[in-house]
Structure 1
Amino acid sequence: MTSRFFVLCAACLAMTASANMSLDPQAIQEVFGRNGYAPPAPPQSPQQAVPVTPAPPKQVVAVTPAPPAPPPDDVFSPVPADYDQFDWTLTKRVAAGSDKNFLLSPLGLKLALAILTEAATGVTQNELSSVLGFDLDRNVVRSKFSTIIESLQKESPYYILNLGSRIYVGDNTHPRQRFAAIAQEFYKTELKNVNFNNPAVASKEINSWVSNITQGHIPSLVNEDDVANMVVLVLNTLYFKGSWYHQFPPNATHFGKFNVSPRLVSYVDYMNVNAKFFYTESTKYDAKILRMPYLGNKYAMYIIVPNSLLGLPRVLNDIGGLRQELDNLREYTVDVTLPRFQFDQTSQLDGILRELGIRAAFEDTASFPGIARGQDMDQRLKVSKVLQRAGIVVNELGSVAYSATEISLVNKFGEDIEATAEVVADKPFLFFIQDEATRQLLFTGRVSEPHGQDGVLKV
């Protein structure tokens, strides 16, 4: 019998604006709150008064409500990052595929692949660990990811981050208890049985879960054909919504030119704010690097704008060294001009992973015995597809981003400084969003056309 094993990752980053990126009262109220006004109750018809005995007067004590707690101050302290070399390598390779917009969730894909690594043995496991940059001691890897997930799951009134991981297993497949326990304890991943022989029901259940995690931004990740006769689906979803620490005044937004290429100009809405930011002028990359924090002092978006129209490849070609440049960030008063941007993208990543050195997982010699019991030679699994769907919306109030990563397996035989600066992002630029506590890259991307170039990227 031919069956399939599929891994999929979804990630979402979105701003608080509406889909067409215009600000409306509802969006502003969502970020800044409501006044809580309620209309007076209608007058009631008069009724006969009932005599009562007056009670002794009570002493009234005036209570002054406590003022709302201010958001924590923005603090930036660069620290060494580990487990991120794969993220930069992946970003560089995807960017090389075209000069269009792209958006990835390196963390989402890495989490999905880490779970697969737990189930692999032999060459399959060695290739996954090597490309991902994992320690050979699995206990070290488990501890690292447990710390990352714990950091991401911290709740705050200043932002929303939803992270969900599931492994859907066919009704006829019996997961190993040890694998299920490891997935739950260290990766907070639930194993759930589903009837892949009824693809309509299975796809509906999977899509409902992904839509809930991404707050409706990814309503249909898979279709019936995707899940028909599947054996295992490894699924990771990520949704982030944050408000800028320094929000852009809506009345400062203006229309202007964005230089897509030497021969192509697009007219877009530019946001503008003048505030204290951590910033550096990079000689190495001939580019400006700006850190834009979100409320809550936990997440931040970094913008890398080359000084020349054709200067972005210089950044991308040596993107692995970008982390060192962040040590040069200092606090300046920066006048920031940034376009609103929004786009969605689906990336098929099988080919890239093969090029990076993950090959055995896709071949008939793949070995994933840790997933399920009873795998005979004609029932063993291999990866058939790695797909990620992601989207982002950025406007005056904040950002929203979302992604889903899917991996399917198929039966193989089937500091303060008084200074000023200016950053004008009027040409293609690179950005990434990271968890400042763990230095993990939630999203990386390039804006070549702020109005968006939605579509499918196969690389």
Structure 2
Amino acid sequence: MKPSTPHPRSIWLLTASWLLPLLCLVIFPCPPVRSSDVTMADAAHHQEFARRLALFSINVYDKLTAQKPGENIVFSPFSIQTCAAMARLGAQGQTAAELDLGLGLASSDPAKIAQSFHQVLAAYQDSQILRIANKIFVMEGYPLRQEFDQLLTKQFLSAAQNVNFAKSAEAAATINGWVEQRTNHLIKDLVPASALDANSRLVLVNAIHFKGTWLHQFPKHGTRQEAFHLDGERSVQVPMMSLKERFRYADLPALDATALELPYKDSDLSMLIVLPNSKTGLSVLEEKLRVTPLSSITQALHRTQVVVKLPKFKAEFEVELTEVFQKLGMSKMFTDQAEFGNMLQSPEPLKVSAIIHKAFIDVNEEGTEAAAATGMVMCYATMVSFEPPPIRFHVEHPFNYYIINRHSATLFAGKVLNL
């Protein structure tokens, strides 16, 4: 590849993520992964992967907050990282080095990078509630290099599909149709036809689709209109869900906040809510969270009886991530000097023209997807006089939330400022 060639062709990196608790559709029903199937070595790998993903998540979150101040945010750091890691497998030189550092990868060896993602992808390959899909769309007449193709197929579980980007409307319809199929037709038009032309060579897409039911559902009859405080002075009336149950909870004085974990059925996934003690404390909390590993919060959680109040909320978020990646030190990939010589069999230069990320979250009483009863027996109600009073965890002002697995790997992250 000649880095100085003036007109590199374009690569599109597209990520899309969905968190859809209202869905009751079942896709690929298979038994959940059993924890007993995971070896000690796998557990150590997952923990290290989660630690690095958490750092990447914090870095992206900071840039998104600065780029879109005052907005509710929801994004999937895992989706973004996975999509960019697929491009990294075809990178060389400084472009590869920037991606290794900016993405927080544990290795600079493409085979090891691919293997680290494979272990996570494979762990949820048969999951009923978390569906992760990768896809690469390639310009007709431009075959992939064998090594690149094999890594994507075997490790990222990604199939390649030929399209003619010169027919931009047809190519966009093909890509968007694949995305719609993976999201039950809820995410449409991820890539506009205007973004594709005869110079486009590859489009890499990662889709992550989560749909789970709360282990402890909020009774619908308990939802009431209550105040959600936007700041110290303004408030709005919102549908506030309510539940009294035993949850894992932590008081976090160092963060001037509390945390609560809401688990999902038949899964190692849960929602972690971190709530500042003050109505106006979110910005200060965000600063502290930059240097506080999520694992340290989850380790502080202990099971106790909690009265939870949580607003029903929806958020949609779409962002073009070029500026975010550049600010994280990954800039050469967007220039005419980008080095992606390990992707195509042909020697022509490639560069990334855009990275689009789209995410959606909908939180309600059920969570997602009805499943079998948990078999949990609540016998402490008759002993209430002997128990300490329940903790109050009332989410009545702006907060952060994460969808994590048992290793604290961040699949989704976000904040709610206004409803």
Q: Quick check: 1:173 aligned with 2:145? A: no
Aligned CA-pair RMSD = 2.3
| Deviation of 1:100 (Å) | 1.6
The residue aligned with 1:200 is: 169
Q: Name which of 102, 109, 119 aligns with 1:131.
A: 102
Query: For the Cα contact (< 8 Å) 2:269–2:404, is it kept in 1?
Result: yes
Displacement of 1:205 in angstroms is: 1.1
Deviations 1:267-314 (A, max 9, x none): 100000110110101111111100000001311000011110111112
For the residue of structure 1 that corresponds to 2:336, the secondary structure is coil
Q: In the aligned structure 2, how far is the partner of 1:138 from the partner of 1:399?
A: 36
Deviates more, 1:87-96 or 1:248-257: 87-96
Mapping for residues 211-230 of structure 1, pairs under 5 Å: 211-229=180-198, 230=200
Identify the residue that residue 232 of structure 1 maps to in structure 2.
202
1:202–1:139 Cα change, 3 Å:
closer
Indicate if the aligned counterparts of 1:165 and 1:237 stay in contact, CA closer than 8 A.
yes
Please tell me whether residue 96 in structure 1 is matched to residue 102 in structure 2. no
Shift, 1:79, TM fit: 6.1
1:394 aligned onto 2:363: yes
Deviation of the 1:351 alpha carbon: 0.7
Q: Give 1:347's aligned residue.
A: 319
Decide whether the 8 Å contact of 2:135 with 2:204 is kept in 1: yes
- Counterpart CA distance in 2 for 1:141 and 1:3 is 25
Give the aligned residue type for 2:210.
F
Structure 1 partner of 2:248: 278
Please report how far the alpha carbon of residue 261 of structure 1 lies from its aligned counterpart in structure 2 after TM superposition: 2.1
Distance 1:217 1:200 in 2: 20
Instruction: Give the match for residue 306 of structure 2.
Output: 334
Q: In structure 2, what residue type is equivalent to 1:440?
A: A
Aligned to 1:5: 11
How many residues align structurally?
373
Flag the 1:3–1:130 CA change in 2: closer, same or farther, 3 A: closer
1:254 to 209, 215, 224: 224
Q: Deviations over 1:355-386 (max 9, x none)?
A: 111011111211001110222xxx31111111
Contact 2:275-2:399 at 8 Å conserved across structures: yes
**Structure 2: how far apart are the matches of 1:358 and 1:350?**
9
TM-score under structure 2 length normalisation: 0.84
Instruction: Tell me the residue number matched to 2:125.
Output: 153
**Structure possessing the higher radius of gyration over alpha carbons:** 1
Q: Is the 8 A contact 2:8 2:349 kept in 1?
A: no
Following TM superposition, by how much is the alpha carbon of 1:172 offset from its aligned partner in structure 2, in angstroms?
A: 3.0
2:184 alignment partner, SS class = coil
For structure 1, which runs of at least 5 residues remain unmatched after alignment? Answer: 18-26, 32-68, 401-417, 451-459
Deviation at 1:446, TM superposition (A): 0.5
Partner of 2:273: 303
Code of the residue aligned with 1:15 in structure 2: it is: P
Secondary structure, aligned partner of 1:251: helix
> What is the deviation of 1:207?
1.1
Which aligned pairs between 1:112-123 and structure 2 lie closer than 5 A?
112-123=83-94
Residue type matched to 1:175 in 2? L
8 Å CA contact retained: 2:18, 2:183: yes
Note if 1:15 corresponds to 2:21.
Answer: yes
Distance 1:2 1:280, change over 3 A: closer
AA matched with 1:142: A
- In structure 2, what is the equivalent of residue 369 of structure 1? 341
Task: Give me the whole-angstrom Cα distance separating, in 2, the residues matched to 1:439 and 1:153.
Answer: 19
Determine the C-alpha separation between the residues in 1 that align with 2:56 and 2:47.
18
Letter of the 2:137 partner, please give it.
Y
Counterpart residue type for residue 186 of structure 1 = Q
Kept in 1, the 8 Å contact 2:16–2:206? The answer is yes
- Matched residue, 1:110: 81
Does the 8 A contact of 2:271 with 2:401 survive in 1?
Answer: yes
Distance in 2 between the 1:435 and 1:210 partners?
24
Partner of 1:409: none
> Whose helix fraction is larger, Structure 1's or Structure 2's?
2
Deviates more, 1:78-87 or 1:111-120: 78-87
Contact 2:13 2:203 in 1 (8 A): yes
Identity among equivalent positions (%) equals: 27
Deviation sequence 1:49-106 (CA, Å, 0-9, x none): xxxxxxxxxxxxxxxxxxxx9xx99xxx996643221122212221233122011110
Matched, 1:143 2:115: yes
Equivalent residue number for residue 35 of structure 1: none
Q: Which runs of 4+ in 1 moved over 4 A?
A: 77-80
The answer for the alignment partner of 1:51 in structure 2 is none
Pairing 1:442–2:411 present? yes
CA contact (8 A) 2:88 2:110 kept: no
Query: TM-score if structure 1 supplies the norm length?
Result: 0.77
CA offset digits 1:134-188 (Å, max 9, x no partner): 12344432221111001121234xxx22211111111132211111011111111
Distance 1:82 1:143, change over 3 A: farther
CA distance in structure 1 between the partners assigned to 2:392 and 2:16 by the alignment: 35
